[in-house]
Chain A
Amino acid sequence: MTEITKQFQRRFADSEVQAWNPRRYYLAVERDKVVAAAEFLFREIGCRFSIATGIDTRDGFEILYHFSHDASGVIYTLKTLVPKDDPQVASITPKVPAANWIEREMKELLGIDFPGHPNLKPLLTSDTDWEPCQYPLRRDFDREPHVKPKPWDDK
Protein backbone atom coordinates (compact mmCIF):
# COMPACT_ATOMS: atom_id res chain seq x y z
CA MET A 1 0.00 0.00 0.00
CA THR A 2 1.27 3.41 -0.86
CA GLU A 3 0.39 6.72 0.75
CA ILE A 4 -1.88 7.46 -2.20
CA THR A 5 -3.92 4.27 -1.85
CA LYS A 6 -4.35 5.00 1.86
CA GLN A 7 -5.58 8.50 1.05
CA PHE A 8 -7.84 7.03 -1.60
CA GLN A 9 -9.37 4.54 0.83
CA ARG A 10 -9.93 7.23 3.43
CA ARG A 11 -11.76 9.32 0.84
CA PHE A 12 -13.71 6.47 -0.80
CA ALA A 13 -14.47 4.14 2.09
CA ASP A 14 -16.28 1.44 0.08
CA SER A 15 -13.58 1.19 -2.54
CA GLU A 16 -11.45 -1.91 -2.90
CA VAL A 17 -7.71 -1.69 -3.42
CA GLN A 18 -5.86 -4.56 -5.05
CA ALA A 19 -2.09 -4.55 -5.28
CA TRP A 20 -0.98 -6.27 -8.46
CA ASN A 21 2.67 -5.52 -7.86
CA PRO A 22 4.46 -2.63 -6.10
CA ARG A 23 4.08 -0.43 -9.18
CA ARG A 24 0.53 -1.36 -10.12
CA TYR A 25 -2.63 -0.86 -8.06
CA TYR A 26 -6.25 -1.43 -8.96
CA LEU A 27 -8.78 0.83 -7.25
CA ALA A 28 -12.28 -0.60 -7.67
CA VAL A 29 -15.15 1.80 -7.13
CA GLU A 30 -18.88 1.86 -7.78
CA ARG A 31 -19.77 3.58 -11.03
CA ASP A 32 -21.43 6.59 -9.37
CA LYS A 33 -18.08 7.35 -7.68
CA VAL A 34 -16.00 7.24 -10.84
CA VAL A 35 -16.02 10.95 -11.59
CA ALA A 36 -15.16 11.92 -8.00
CA ALA A 37 -12.40 9.29 -7.83
CA ALA A 38 -10.93 10.36 -11.18
CA GLU A 39 -10.99 13.99 -10.10
CA PHE A 40 -9.30 13.04 -6.82
CA LEU A 41 -6.48 11.18 -8.60
CA PHE A 42 -6.09 13.81 -11.31
CA ARG A 43 -6.46 17.10 -9.43
CA GLU A 44 -5.48 16.33 -5.84
CA ILE A 45 -2.83 13.64 -6.25
CA GLY A 46 -1.56 15.02 -9.55
CA CYS A 47 -1.62 11.79 -11.54
CA ARG A 48 -1.45 11.87 -15.31
CA PHE A 49 -4.36 10.30 -17.19
CA SER A 50 -2.74 7.70 -19.39
CA ILE A 51 -5.53 5.82 -21.15
CA ALA A 52 -8.76 4.00 -20.45
CA THR A 53 -9.77 0.45 -21.31
CA GLY A 54 -13.18 -1.05 -21.88
CA ILE A 55 -13.62 -4.83 -21.69
CA ASP A 56 -16.66 -6.98 -22.33
CA THR A 57 -16.51 -9.48 -19.44
CA ARG A 58 -19.03 -12.10 -18.30
CA ASP A 59 -20.29 -9.91 -15.45
CA GLY A 60 -20.64 -6.70 -17.45
CA PHE A 61 -18.54 -4.07 -19.11
CA GLU A 62 -15.42 -3.34 -17.15
CA ILE A 63 -13.97 0.14 -17.55
CA LEU A 64 -10.40 0.79 -16.43
CA TYR A 65 -9.02 4.31 -16.21
CA HIS A 66 -5.25 4.18 -15.99
CA PHE A 67 -3.62 7.00 -14.07
CA SER A 68 0.14 7.25 -13.95
CA HIS A 69 1.82 8.82 -10.93
CA ASP A 70 5.04 9.89 -12.58
CA ALA A 71 6.81 11.02 -9.41
CA SER A 72 6.81 7.48 -7.99
CA GLY A 73 6.41 5.50 -11.21
CA VAL A 74 3.25 3.77 -9.97
CA ILE A 75 0.17 3.20 -12.12
CA TYR A 76 -3.20 3.44 -10.39
CA THR A 77 -6.03 1.89 -12.34
CA LEU A 78 -9.49 3.02 -11.45
CA LYS A 79 -11.80 0.11 -12.10
CA THR A 80 -15.57 -0.04 -12.36
CA LEU A 81 -18.11 -2.53 -13.64
CA VAL A 82 -21.27 -1.51 -15.47
CA PRO A 83 -24.14 -3.94 -16.14
CA LYS A 84 -24.73 -5.02 -19.72
CA ASP A 85 -28.42 -4.06 -19.73
CA ASP A 86 -27.62 -0.49 -18.66
CA PRO A 87 -24.16 0.28 -20.03
CA GLN A 88 -23.52 3.84 -18.95
CA VAL A 89 -21.23 5.70 -16.64
CA ALA A 90 -20.83 9.44 -16.12
CA SER A 91 -18.15 10.96 -18.34
CA ILE A 92 -14.92 12.07 -16.70
CA THR A 93 -14.08 14.29 -19.69
CA PRO A 94 -15.34 17.54 -18.06
CA LYS A 95 -12.87 16.89 -15.22
CA VAL A 96 -10.11 15.05 -17.15
CA PRO A 97 -10.02 16.46 -20.70
CA ALA A 98 -7.61 13.80 -21.97
CA ALA A 99 -10.37 11.19 -21.68
CA ASN A 100 -12.28 12.79 -24.55
CA TRP A 101 -11.29 10.53 -27.43
CA ILE A 102 -11.05 7.24 -25.52
CA GLU A 103 -14.59 7.69 -24.22
CA ARG A 104 -15.76 8.36 -27.77
CA GLU A 105 -13.98 5.19 -28.86
CA MET A 106 -15.56 3.12 -26.05
CA LYS A 107 -18.98 4.48 -26.99
CA GLU A 108 -18.40 3.59 -30.60
CA LEU A 109 -16.81 0.15 -30.31
CA LEU A 110 -18.39 -1.17 -27.08
CA GLY A 111 -21.59 0.84 -26.85
CA ILE A 112 -21.00 2.22 -23.37
CA ASP A 113 -22.76 5.55 -22.96
CA PHE A 114 -21.03 8.46 -21.24
CA PRO A 115 -23.59 11.05 -20.15
CA GLY A 116 -21.99 14.47 -19.72
CA HIS A 117 -19.46 14.01 -22.53
CA PRO A 118 -19.22 17.20 -24.60
CA ASN A 119 -18.86 15.57 -28.02
CA LEU A 120 -19.83 11.90 -28.20
CA LYS A 121 -19.58 11.47 -31.98
CA PRO A 122 -18.12 8.39 -33.70
CA LEU A 123 -14.38 8.55 -34.04
CA LEU A 124 -12.96 5.50 -35.79
CA THR A 125 -15.61 3.77 -37.86
CA SER A 126 -16.40 4.86 -41.38
CA ASP A 127 -18.84 7.70 -41.82
CA THR A 128 -20.07 6.30 -45.14
CA ASP A 129 -19.83 2.52 -44.88
CA TRP A 130 -20.85 1.68 -41.32
CA GLU A 131 -24.23 1.72 -39.63
CA PRO A 132 -24.27 3.10 -36.09
CA CYS A 133 -25.28 0.94 -33.11
CA GLN A 134 -23.11 -2.00 -34.22
CA TYR A 135 -20.47 -2.55 -31.58
CA PRO A 136 -17.60 -4.65 -32.92
CA LEU A 137 -15.76 -5.17 -29.63
CA ARG A 138 -18.73 -6.79 -27.91
CA ARG A 139 -18.60 -10.55 -27.54
CA ASP A 140 -21.98 -11.06 -29.18
CA PHE A 141 -20.96 -9.06 -32.26
CA ASP A 142 -21.32 -11.15 -35.42
CA ARG A 143 -18.58 -10.03 -37.73
CA GLU A 144 -19.35 -12.49 -40.53
CA PRO A 145 -21.82 -10.22 -42.40
CA HIS A 146 -19.22 -7.46 -42.38
CA VAL A 147 -16.21 -9.44 -43.58
CA LYS A 148 -15.46 -9.00 -47.27
CA PRO A 149 -14.56 -12.01 -49.45
CA LYS A 150 -11.01 -13.21 -49.06
CA PRO A 151 -8.45 -11.84 -51.52
CA TRP A 152 -7.37 -15.35 -52.52
CA ASP A 153 -10.94 -16.07 -53.67
CA ASP A 154 -10.69 -13.28 -56.24
CA LYS A 155 -10.74 -14.50 -59.81
Chain B
Amino acid sequence: MMDLRLWGLKKSPWVFHLAAASCNNCDIEILAALTPRFDLERFGIVLVGSPRHADALLVTGVTNRKCLPRVLRVYEQTAKPCLVIGVGTCACSNHMFTDSYNVTGPFSRHIPVDVFIPGCPPKPEAIIAGVAKALGKL
Protein backbone atom coordinates (compact mmCIF):
# COMPACT_ATOMS: atom_id res chain seq x y z
CA MET B 1 0.00 0.00 0.00
CA MET B 2 2.75 2.39 0.99
CA ASP B 3 4.67 1.64 -2.19
CA LEU B 4 1.65 2.47 -4.29
CA ARG B 5 1.24 5.79 -2.54
CA LEU B 6 4.92 6.61 -2.92
CA TRP B 7 4.71 5.68 -6.56
CA GLY B 8 1.83 8.09 -6.98
CA LEU B 9 3.75 10.77 -5.12
CA LYS B 10 6.74 10.36 -7.38
CA LYS B 11 4.86 10.63 -10.63
CA SER B 12 3.40 14.07 -10.18
CA PRO B 13 4.00 15.74 -6.82
CA TRP B 14 1.47 18.42 -6.06
CA VAL B 15 3.01 21.21 -4.09
CA PHE B 16 1.46 23.58 -1.62
CA HIS B 17 3.45 26.77 -1.30
CA LEU B 18 3.38 28.06 2.27
CA ALA B 19 4.88 31.50 2.78
CA ALA B 20 5.58 31.56 6.53
CA ALA B 21 6.52 35.21 7.17
CA SER B 22 9.07 35.35 4.40
CA CYS B 23 10.19 38.56 2.72
CA ASN B 24 8.62 37.27 -0.55
CA ASN B 25 11.94 36.96 -2.33
CA CYS B 26 11.96 33.16 -2.10
CA ASP B 27 8.31 33.13 -3.16
CA ILE B 28 9.18 35.10 -6.27
CA GLU B 29 11.97 32.64 -7.08
CA ILE B 30 9.58 29.71 -6.63
CA LEU B 31 7.21 31.35 -9.10
CA ALA B 32 10.18 31.91 -11.42
CA ALA B 33 10.97 28.21 -11.19
CA LEU B 34 7.43 27.45 -12.34
CA THR B 35 7.48 29.78 -15.33
CA PRO B 36 8.30 28.42 -18.82
CA ARG B 37 11.98 29.39 -18.66
CA PHE B 38 12.75 26.88 -15.90
CA ASP B 39 9.49 24.95 -16.13
CA LEU B 40 9.11 22.84 -13.01
CA GLU B 41 5.89 21.56 -14.48
CA ARG B 42 7.78 19.29 -16.86
CA PHE B 43 8.41 17.10 -13.79
CA GLY B 44 4.68 17.06 -13.13
CA ILE B 45 5.03 19.51 -10.27
CA VAL B 46 1.91 21.64 -9.92
CA LEU B 47 1.03 24.25 -7.32
CA VAL B 48 -2.26 23.48 -5.63
CA GLY B 49 -4.53 25.76 -3.68
CA SER B 50 -5.15 23.61 -0.63
CA PRO B 51 -2.81 21.68 1.67
CA ARG B 52 -5.31 18.81 1.59
CA HIS B 53 -4.37 18.15 -2.04
CA ALA B 54 -0.64 18.52 -1.50
CA ASP B 55 2.07 15.86 -1.63
CA ALA B 56 4.77 18.34 -0.75
CA LEU B 57 4.91 21.46 1.36
CA LEU B 58 7.24 24.24 0.21
CA VAL B 59 7.89 26.48 3.22
CA THR B 60 9.68 29.82 2.92
CA GLY B 61 10.63 32.31 5.59
CA VAL B 62 11.61 32.38 9.22
CA THR B 63 8.74 31.01 11.26
CA ASN B 64 7.80 33.66 13.81
CA ARG B 65 5.61 33.43 16.88
CA LYS B 66 2.49 34.56 15.09
CA CYS B 67 2.67 32.19 12.14
CA LEU B 68 3.99 29.04 13.86
CA PRO B 69 0.47 27.86 14.85
CA ARG B 70 -0.62 28.39 11.23
CA VAL B 71 2.34 26.41 9.88
CA LEU B 72 1.55 23.53 12.23
CA ARG B 73 -2.11 23.64 11.23
CA VAL B 74 -1.29 23.53 7.52
CA TYR B 75 1.13 20.65 8.10
CA GLU B 76 -1.54 18.73 10.02
CA GLN B 77 -3.96 19.20 7.14
CA THR B 78 -1.69 17.64 4.51
CA ALA B 79 -2.19 13.99 3.62
CA LYS B 80 0.75 11.91 4.81
CA PRO B 81 3.27 10.97 3.52
CA CYS B 82 4.10 14.56 2.77
CA LEU B 83 7.47 15.91 1.72
CA VAL B 84 8.46 19.09 3.53
CA ILE B 85 10.96 21.34 1.78
CA GLY B 86 12.46 24.42 3.41
CA VAL B 87 13.32 27.09 0.85
CA GLY B 88 15.78 29.86 1.64
CA THR B 89 18.32 30.51 4.37
CA CYS B 90 15.58 31.78 6.71
CA ALA B 91 13.81 28.45 6.64
CA CYS B 92 17.11 26.61 7.11
CA SER B 93 18.71 28.61 9.93
CA ASN B 94 16.79 31.85 10.70
CA HIS B 95 19.35 33.80 8.68
CA MET B 96 19.90 37.26 10.24
CA PHE B 97 16.76 37.13 12.36
CA THR B 98 18.21 34.64 14.81
CA ASP B 99 18.59 37.26 17.60
CA SER B 100 15.03 38.50 17.25
CA TYR B 101 12.51 38.23 20.07
CA ASN B 102 9.84 37.09 17.65
CA VAL B 103 11.51 34.05 16.11
CA THR B 104 10.70 30.49 17.15
CA GLY B 105 13.68 28.89 15.51
CA PRO B 106 13.88 27.23 12.12
CA PHE B 107 10.65 25.38 11.51
CA SER B 108 12.53 22.07 11.39
CA ARG B 109 12.30 22.25 15.19
CA HIS B 110 8.57 21.85 14.94
CA ILE B 111 7.90 19.64 11.91
CA PRO B 112 10.13 17.08 10.17
CA VAL B 113 11.85 18.51 7.09
CA ASP B 114 13.11 16.39 4.19
CA VAL B 115 15.15 18.85 2.15
CA PHE B 116 16.61 22.28 2.79
CA ILE B 117 17.38 24.62 -0.08
CA PRO B 118 19.71 27.37 1.19
CA GLY B 119 20.23 30.69 -0.52
CA CYS B 120 18.94 34.20 -0.13
CA PRO B 121 17.01 33.72 -2.31
CA PRO B 122 17.92 30.34 -3.84
CA LYS B 123 18.16 30.38 -7.61
CA PRO B 124 15.38 28.62 -9.49
CA GLU B 125 18.01 26.07 -10.53
CA ALA B 126 18.73 25.39 -6.85
CA ILE B 127 15.02 24.99 -6.15
CA ILE B 128 14.70 22.52 -9.02
CA ALA B 129 17.77 20.63 -7.77
CA GLY B 130 16.32 20.53 -4.26
CA VAL B 131 12.95 19.25 -5.43
CA ALA B 132 14.66 16.64 -7.59
CA LYS B 133 16.69 15.59 -4.54
CA ALA B 134 13.51 15.31 -2.49
CA LEU B 135 11.96 13.12 -5.18
CA GLY B 136 15.13 11.04 -5.24
CA LYS B 137 14.69 10.33 -1.53
CA LEU B 138 11.43 8.51 -2.17
Residues of A within 8 A of B (CB): 124-130, 136, 141, 143, 146-152, 154
List of A residues within 8 angstroms of B65 by Cβ: 125-126, 128-130
Could you tell me how many residues of chain B have their Cβ less than 8 Å away from some Cβ of chain A?
Answer: 17
List of A residues within 8 angstroms of B60 by Cβ: none
List of B residues within 8 angstroms of A151 by Cβ: 93-94, 98, 105-106, 109
List of B residues within 8 angstroms of A150 by Cβ: 98
Contact of B69 among A125, A128, A146 (CB under 8 A): A128
Contact, CB under 8 Å: B105 / A136: no
Say whether chain A's binding surface is mostly helix, strand, loop, or mixed.
loop
Look across to chain B and name the residue whose beta carbon is closest to the beta carbon of A143.
Answer: B101
Contact, CB under 8 Å: A125 / B93: no
- How far, in angstroms, from A148 to B101 measured CA to CA in the complex? 8
Contact of A152 among B93, B101, B103 (CB under 8 A): B93
Name 5 interchain pairs, CB-CB below 8 A, sorted by A. Answer: A126-B65, A126-B102, A129-B65, A143-B100, A143-B101
Look across to chain A and name the residue whose beta carbon is closest to the beta carbon of B94.
Answer: A151
Say whether chain B's binding surface is mostly helix, strand, loop, or mixed.
loop
Q: Which 4 A-B pairs have the closest CB atoms?
A: A146-B101, A126-B65, A126-B66, A143-B101
A125-B102 contact, Cβ under 8 Å, with A130-B65, A151-B93, A152-B93: yes
B3 at the interface (CB under 8 A from A): no
Contact, CB under 8 Å: B93 / A136: no
List of A residues within 8 angstroms of B106 by Cβ: 151
List of B residues within 8 angstroms of A141 by Cβ: 101
B68 at the interface (CB under 8 A from A): yes
Look across to chain B and name the residue whose beta carbon is closest to the beta carbon of A128.
Answer: B69
Look across to chain B and name the residue whose beta carbon is closest to the beta carbon of A149.
Answer: B105
B46 to chain A, nearest CB (A): 32
Contact, CB under 8 Å: A148 / B104: yes
- How far, in angstroms, from A146 to B104 measured CA to CA in the complex? 9
Contact of A127 among B66, B103, B109 (CB under 8 A): B66
Contact, CB under 8 Å: A143 / B99: yes
